[in-house]
Amino acid sequence: MPIATTNPATGRTLKSYEPMSAEQIDAAIERADLAYRQLRGTTIAQRGRWLNAAADLLEAERDEIARLMTTEMGKTYASARAEVTKCAGACRFYAARAAEFLADEPADAEAVKATRAFVRYQPIGPVLAVMPWNFPLWQVLRFAAPALMAGNTGLLKHASNVPQTALLLEDLFRRAGFPEGAFTTLLIGSAEVERVLSDPRVRAATLTGSEGAGRSIAQIAGRELKKTVLELGGSDPFVVMPSADLERAAEVATTARCQNNGQSCIAAKRFIVHTDVFDAFAEKLAANMSALRVGDPMDPDTDVGPLASEGGRDEVHAQVRDAVDRGATVLCGGEPPAGPGWFYPPTVVTDLRPEMRMWSEEVFGPVAGLYRVSSYDEAIEVANGTSFGLGSNAWTRDPQEQERFAADLDAGNVFVNGMTTSYPELPFGGVKNSGYGRELSALGMREFCNTKTVWVGEGAASAGVGAHAE
């Protein structure tokens, strides 16, 4: 895959890059390792000042950054601006909360026959981050902010179609004051990931991307005995029960499916609707989806921009065609428009069956699959009947049903009467083939920490071990 910026709204390639040589990669890893030794000796307060400075830069340069993101991967300018704002918020969150998340945790000293015992969280070294293009700033920031605050350094291998955003991120952390090498962008193709992850100076990896990339990185990391966090695909269920507020559910369903032009891992993709309200919900959803305006992502009136790549659009259309050829019904959309750019209309497909690709595959575009069920148990069976387990949504005003959904949905999160969203305050991640490990919250920060047990016996000076510099 060439490392290049190609505008998905026009199909025109605007800028191409030569991949880094083996020597350049080695030098970047060396800088990351040296920077790690420096960074781990700084205080949390100092790192917090740098991270807050990064947030200031993001806020000051929001429009320019958003324009670049829209040009590289086609999200609407409005959503790109919102993404920049969210990133600044996450930087401020970790700058403010890191001291609490990394504080020593006292243990029961008497039970372990110590005078003092506690747990300390320490950085582990350079971490490789392999990231996707769909939220080109946020996916990286949600790794980088906690990692840098913990004292780790980052090596970013971003998706090949967002090289300018990738370089902007390296520049951002440098300008914010972090030491040279604390955060480095590697302009490399996916074939070079093995070289980086096999290097003994690189201590761990995080990937946000497809199942295939997850398997490949987990294999290398397994061989090298390195920790990984994997945030992979999803085909989130959105269950609508008879007591739901149908109007609101259909409104949120439309946003949940079409946000980011339908290319979000946590987008609701399978709409599982109780038969008592199926027809009413289907009608509302199809009406809402048809009303969305598809077009130039820079235009403030546009709701849905182009898909990020021609291959991505072809794949979505092939999945829809496969369903239709096997007997599914299209309620709206289903045909890409003629003309330049990789646009795909908001589409609703029903009468789905297990032999259709859409039943079991993730659809990475604005296509909603509708499933009719006749009971709570059947809803759970269809919702959990997938290899994925990232997010999930349930719509019901029945408090008992709400409890049951929270317990029974097999996913990394359950949002009741709302849309799955990521917040720095809440852990984020999946189960089954959606990956493992967690990002965000205190848990995300500790994924790349050495959880060190400290046991102190008799004879420790009172101001000795445990007088934490930070």
CB of 432 to ligand NAP, least distance (A): 12
The nearest distance, CB 434 to ligand NAP, in angstroms, is 6
Q: Is 265 among the catalytic positions?
A: yes
- Selected binder of ligand NAP within 8, 209, 336, 366 (CB under 6 A): 209
Cα 152 from Cα 100, distance rounded (Å): 17
Cβ nearer to ligand NAP, comparing 151 with 306? 306
Q: Which of 72, 83, 170, 231 is catalytic?
A: 231
Q: Which residue is nearest to ligand NAP (CB)?
A: 209
Q: Is 87 a catalytic residue?
A: no
Measured CA to CA in angstroms, residue 206 lies from 1, 74, 140, 444 at distances of 21, 25, 10, 11
Q: Which DSSP string corresponds to 371-392?
A: EEESSHHHHHHHHH-SS--S--
Phi, psi of 388 (to 5 degrees): -90, 165
CB nearer to ligand NAP: pick between 87 and 217: 217
State in angstroms the smallest separation of the CB of 209 from ligand NAP. 3
Residue 395, strand partner residues: 240
Q: Does 234 bind ligand NAP (CB under 6 A)?
A: yes
Report if residue 126 touches ligand NAP, rule: CB under 6 A.
no
Crossing angle, helix 275-291 and helix 246-258, to 10 degrees? Answer: 50
Residue 135 C-beta: closest distance to ligand NAP, Å:
6
Nearer to ligand NAP, 24 or 210 (CB): 210
Count of residues near ligand NAP by CB under 6 A: 31
Closest-CA residue to 85 (of 65, 68, 62): 62
Q: Cα 55 to chain center, whole Å?
A: 19
208: contact with ligand NAP by CB under 6 A: yes
| Segment near ligand NAP (CB under 6 A); pick from 10-18, 78-86, 109-117, 128-136 | 128-136
Pick out residues in 394-433 that bind ligand NAP (CB under 6 A): 430
Give yes or no for residue 159 binding ligand NAP (CB under 6 A): yes
H or E element at residue 81: helix 77-101
Buried b (16+ CB within 10 A) or exposed e, 113-130: ebebbbebbebbbbbbbb
Q: What is the DSSP letter of 340?
A: S
Of 212 and 399, nearer to ligand NAP (C-beta) is 212
Residue list 3-22, contact with ligand NAP (CB under 6 A) = none
**Least distance to ligand NAP from the beta carbon of 120, Å?**
29
Amino acid at 70: T
469 Cβ contact list (under 8 Å, min separation 6): 43
Name the one range near ligand NAP by CB under 6 A: 71-79, 153-161, 164-172, 400-408: 153-161
What are the φ/ψ torsions at residue 92 (nearest 5 degrees)?
-65, -35
Q: In the complex, what is the shortest distance from the CB of residue 344 to ligand NAP, in angstroms, rounded to a whole number?
A: 15
Q: Is 185 in the site for ligand NAP (CB under 6 A)?
A: no
For residue 464, the Cα-to-chain-centroid distance in whole angstroms is 41
Distance CA 258, CA 289 (A): 8
Helix (H) or strand (E) holding 72: helix 62-73
Judged by CB under 6 A, does residue 133 bind ligand NAP? yes
CB of 265 to ligand NAP, least distance (A): 3
Residue 189 engages ligand NAP in binding (rule: CB under 6 A): yes
The answer to whether 356 and 386 have CB atoms below 8 angstroms apart is no
C-alpha–C-alpha distance, residues 120 and 110, integer Å: 18
Query: Quick one: which segment of 67-75, 232-240, 285-293, 324-332 binds ligand NAP (CB under 6 A)?
Result: 232-240
332 binds ligand NAP (CB under 6 A): no
Q: Does 134 bind ligand NAP (CB under 6 A)?
A: yes
Q: How far is the CB of 238 from ligand NAP (least distance, A)?
A: 16
Residue 163, interface with ligand NAP (CB under 6 A)? no
Give the C-alpha separation, 451 to 121, whole Å.
5
> Which of the residues are catalytic?
231, 265
Q: Which residues bind ligand NAP (CB under 6 A)?
A: 1, 130-134, 139, 157-160, 189-190, 193, 208-210, 212-213, 216-217, 231-234, 265, 362, 364, 390, 430, 435
